[in-house]
């Protein structure tokens, strides 16, 4: 029986990279796709970044694939006007997807594409586990005269469930990141993570770090990390910083997951890149590897997931380079290179 997937191509290069990824996905399994608008294209067509129809379809699907959302066309500081990112945030909240997983792996073929020295990044293989539905992004906010405020709130239950997700993802250790020397939410975070570790995961080494120190360590000693466990705001920043290690955001997949049985969202870490949209030169590899995350985490298709990841690695080893990696391969050529290695 075919797996039911809702596709949300989104804005900019989103439709291009998603289309490429579906071509690869169809080589390893049977899937049914149902396309809906999200983000800027939805604002243009319906006046909202996430329609009730799109939300309902996502809730009924087994999984959701997103290309990218956003762009200068819809940028605004007016709190009463819709923004593309609101659609994505609301979709995560409505699906109760509280854990964002961003694996970061430095590939030997791309060591020289990284802004960091080879000896610094060699062997980097980490994952940022970011809490996704709490904190500053979802707290009370507003303006009062010439002042503005954003409120960060976390409950014990919210920290417990993301802590468990982090420990389950660990291979060697967990580094819990906070700002406990300043923030009360971080003190609650650290206390709760410590308790969950002691009660349920004491066999896994646990370290703590303040976010400013961890940000520095990420670019000076990235191989020292396995799982970085942190809150919504810090996770957003640290995962984008970590994304520079392999040499391009075009190489980073992302998964947003909740409790078992809940449809997850799988998308590339990069943005919509409107400056190159429609030119056929976008790097599809992050989107392709996001489908591998979906196969692994949503459908328990580990063999197929590993086959896609191996095909990407082999294509890069053979010299595949899109423009963001210093080459000239088009989206179609990159996709073909992956397919050729997948079919060997």
- Cβ-count burial 11-45 (b if 16+ within 10 Å, e if not): bbbbbbbbbbbbbbbeebeebebeebbbbbbbbee
The answer to whether 146 is a known catalytic residue is no
Spot the catalytic one: 11, 98, 111, 137.
137
CA–CA distance, 87 with 39 (Å, rounded to integer):
6
8, 42 Cβ separation under 8 angstroms: no
Spot the catalytic one: 59, 173, 240, 340.
240
Tokens representing 35 are: 């396309």
99, 131 Cβ separation under 8 angstroms: yes
The answer to whether 236 is a known catalytic residue is yes
Angle at 22 between CA 21 and CA 25, to 5 degrees: 90
CA 222 vs CA 4, 169, 314: distances in Å: 37, 17, 24
Spot the catalytic one: 11, 226, 231, 236.
236
Question: Which residue is associated with the tokens 């605004």?
Answer: 76
Spot the catalytic one: 179, 226, 231, 324.
179
Spot the catalytic one: 26, 212, 259, 275.
212
The answer to whether 212 is a known catalytic residue is yes
Query: Coil, helix or strand for 104?
Result: strand
CA–CA distance, 52 with 65 (Å, rounded to integer):
17
293, 269 Cβ separation under 8 angstroms: no
Q: How many helices (H) and strands (E) does the chain have?
A: 12, 12
The answer to whether 340 is a known catalytic residue is no
CA–CA distance, 266 with 316 (Å, rounded to integer):
22
The answer to whether 179 is a known catalytic residue is yes
Dihedral sign, CA of 136, 142, 144, 145? positive
- Cβ-count burial 268-291 (b if 16+ within 10 Å, e if not): bbbbbbbebbeeebbbbbbbbbbb
CA 42 vs CA 19, 55, 96: distances in Å: 18, 12, 22
- DSSP, res 2: P
- Enzyme catalytic residues: 137, 179, 212, 236, 240
């Amino acid at each position: 029986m075919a797996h039911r997937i809702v596709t949300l191509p989104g804005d900019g290069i989103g439709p291009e990279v998603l289309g490429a990824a579906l071509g690869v996905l169809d080589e390893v399994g049977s899937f049914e796709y149902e396309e809906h608008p999200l983000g800027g294209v939805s604002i243009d067509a319906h006046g909202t970044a996430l329609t009730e129809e799109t939300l309902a379809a996502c809730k009924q699907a087994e999984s959701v694939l997103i290309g990218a959302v956003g762009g200068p066309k819809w940028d605004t500081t007016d709190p009463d006007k819709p923004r593309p990112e609101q659609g994505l945030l609301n979709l995560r909240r409505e699906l109760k997807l509280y854990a964002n997983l961003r694996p970061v792996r430095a590939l030997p073929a791309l060591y020289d594409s990284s802004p960091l020295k080879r000896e610094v990044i060699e062997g980097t293989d980490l994952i940022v586990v970011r809490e996704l539905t709490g904190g500053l992004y979802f707290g009370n906010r507003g303006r009062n005269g010439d002042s503005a405020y954003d409120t960060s709130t976390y409950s014990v239950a919210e920290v417990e469930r993301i802590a468990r997700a982090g420990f389950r993802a660990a291979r060697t250790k967990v580094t819990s990141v906070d700002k406990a020397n300043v923030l009360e939410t971080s003190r609650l975070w650290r206390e709760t993570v410590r308790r969950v570790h002691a009660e349920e995961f004491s066999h896994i080494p646990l370290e703590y770090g303040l976010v400013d120190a961890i940000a520095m360590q990420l670019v000076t000693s990235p191989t020292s990390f396995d799982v970085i466990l942190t809150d919504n705001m810090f996770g957003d920043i640290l995962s984008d910083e970590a994304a520079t290690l392999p040499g391009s955001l075009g190489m980073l997949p992302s998964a947003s997951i909740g409790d078992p049985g809940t449809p997850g969202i799988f998308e590339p870490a990069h943005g919509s890149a409107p400056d190159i949209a429609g030119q056929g030169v976008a790097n599809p590899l992050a989107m392709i590897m996001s489908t591998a995350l979906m196969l692994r985490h949503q459908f328990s298709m580990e063999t197929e997931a590993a086959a896609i990841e191996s095909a990407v690695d082999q294509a890069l080893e053979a010299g595949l380079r899109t423009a963001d990696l210093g080459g000239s391969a088009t989206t179609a050529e990159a996709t073909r290179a992956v397919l050729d290695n997948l079919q060997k």
